Amino acid sequence: MSKKYITTFCSTLFLLTVFFFLAYQHQHKPRIFILHSYSASMPWVQSLNEGVRKVFGDKTYISLRYFYMDTRHHHDPDYLERVRKSLNLAIKAWKPDILIAFDNDAQNMAVEEFAACRNLKIILAGISDSKRWLEYENTPNVTGITEQIPVKAIREILSLLFRKQKRIYYLSDDSEAARMLDKDISSQNWGSYELVAHKRVKTFAEWQQAVYEAEDKADILLISIYHAITDVNKRIKAKDLVKWMNEHSKIPVVGIYESFIIDGGILAVAISSLEQGYTAAWLALNIIEKKLSIQDVPLLHGKTFSVFMDKQLLLRHFPQVHIPVIIDAFSKSHWSLEGLSTPEIDLSSIEKLKLKKA
């Protein structure tokens, strides 16, 4: 047997070994399927994905796949049924280890379709329906992170910016998402503030009437979800709605989502989508790397918030407002994840408990 033949044989064997190793590694990579309720173009979704990338950006040994339901723009039963079928086909074909579902529509579909699949671990992010927390805590393969209106943060930021305004008028559309999010808003601790109204409306005319009513009853108009408002049976564009409020409201309008600023709003003390994305991905990573059971991971409660502010527009509309330096600086650095702390969960204790059970 010639030396050349042996060299060729060894080289071929080496290449085949590498090929089969890489093929095996690719085939057996942990797989995480990320299901979004909304479209990839929404700022909220982009921020969620930024949080996910912060965790998985350098984890090349983990495969990610994204699925966007786009229910903000399409929500009729036929469309949702097509989405359901497509999602089932995608999950069946790809066979992920973990499914991360963001926001209500994705959560509902994930639980309805896959809660019985014991081989699929489900992480829900942005759980706004507090009555379902206990249900999820008792579902063996489901955990997640809740989404709540940051009442304490709103109180503190408003007290720094608007020192004498103490009456708050809360306004949203009448969508399912809004009803889930704010069902407990009246019972929250508002401290020295008074929640003078909690109103949900369906039409633009009703919205306009509520804004004018707020001027008589309150000092601050607090806005949550407004994307389902209709005008002559057609959904009004979010930017047009916010523009109208900027032009007609005589009291400060404050949002609780960063999309409010994207749509032209002046100020938002917002639920942190970065935290939602980061924490869901962080949970998934630890479940994979530490071989944790979903049952061992408790439901987490979102705690961080972001401040968004159009300073020039705020001062133009309300020149008497006082903007502390720290608020000004914080509102300019809201996209940074460097200060986002690791979720408060004792993984070492969970691992010990897991070993003890075994």
Residues 88-115 have pLDDT tens digits of: 999 999 999 999 999 989 999 999 999 8
Confidence (pLDDT) at 9: 55
Q: Domain containing 60 — which CATH number? A: 3.40.50.2300
What is the phi-psi region of residue 33: left when phi exceeds 0, alpha when psi lies from -120 to 50, beta otherwise? Answer: beta
CA–CA separation, 63 vs 303, rounded Å? 29
Tell me if residue 125 falls in helix, strand or coil.
strand
**Assigned domain for 137 exists:** yes
> Residues 140, 166: one domain?
no
Instruction: Give residue 341's pLDDT.
Output: 44
Confidence of residue 12 (pLDDT cuts 50, 70, 90): low
Within a domain: residue 344?
A: no
Domain count within the chain: 2
Contact partners, residue 287, CB within 8 Å, separation at least 6: 98, 121, 123, 294, 297
- CA quadruple 286, 290, 293, 298: dihedral, nearest 10: -40
**pLDDT reported for residue 287:** 92
Instruction: At 170, list the tokens.
Output: 């809360």
The pLDDT of 318-335, averaged and rounded, is 75
- Note whether 176 and 242 are same-domain residues: yes
Mean of all residue pLDDT scores within the chain: 84
- pTM of the entire predicted model: 0.78
Evaluate whether residue 357 is within a structural domain: no
Nearest residue to 252 via CA among 154, 342, 347, 340: 154
Tokens of 131: 């009555």
Q: Residue 135: pLDDT above 90?
A: no
Instruction: Determine the pLDDT at residue 34.
Output: 98
Show the beta-strand stretches assigned E in 177-252: 194-201, 220-223, 230-231, 234-235
Asked if residue 319 and residue 229 are part of one domain, the reply reads yes
Same domain for 82 and 176? Answer: no
Check whether residue 202 and residue 289 sit in a common domain.
Answer: no
46 and 115 in a single domain? The answer is yes
Q: For residue 224, is pLDDT > 90?
A: yes
Please determine, for residue 80, whether its predicted confidence score (pLDDT) is greater than 80: yes
Whether residue 119 is contained in a domain is answered as yes
Residue 277 region by backbone torsions, left for phi larger than 0, else alpha for psi between -120 and 50, else beta: alpha
What pLDDT is attached to residue 334? 45
Is residue 341 included in any domain, yes or no? no
Nearest of 31, 52, 30, 28 to residue 40 by alpha carbon: 52
Owner of token pair 């979102």: 302
What is the extent of the structural domain holding 312?
Answer: 151-271+304-332
Mean pLDDT of 164-188: 90
Q: Give the whole-number percent of the chain exceeding pLDDT 70.
A: 83
pLDDT value at residue 1: 53
Tell me: do 316 and 191 sit in the same domain.
yes
129 assigned to some structural domain: yes
- Select from 107, 153, 114, 113 the least CA-distant residue to 132: 107
pLDDT at 294: 82
Q: How many helical (H) and strand (E) elements, i.e. helices and strands, does the chain have?
A: 14, 14
Domain membership flag for residue 247: yes
**Sequence-separated (6 or more) residues with CB below 8 Å from residue 95:** 31
Whether 324 is in a domain gets the answer yes
Q: How confident is the model at residue 337 (pLDDT cuts 50, 70, 90)?
A: very low
Q: Is there a single domain that holds both residue 203 and residue 309?
A: yes
Please state which of the ranges 5-9, 18-22, 120-124, 231-235 shows the lowest mean pLDDT. 18-22
Residues 164 and 118 in one domain: no
Check whether residue 224 and residue 176 sit in a common domain.
yes
Q: Does the pLDDT value for residue 15 go beyond 70?
A: no
Helix-strand-coil percent breakdown of the chain, rounded to 5? Answer: 50, 20, 35
If asked whether residues 137 and 226 sit together in one domain, one would say no
Q: In angstroms, how far is the first alpha carbon of the chain from the final one?
A: 55
In the chain, pLDDT over 90 holds for what percent of residues? 54
Cα Dmax for the chain: 98
Same domain, 160 and 230: yes
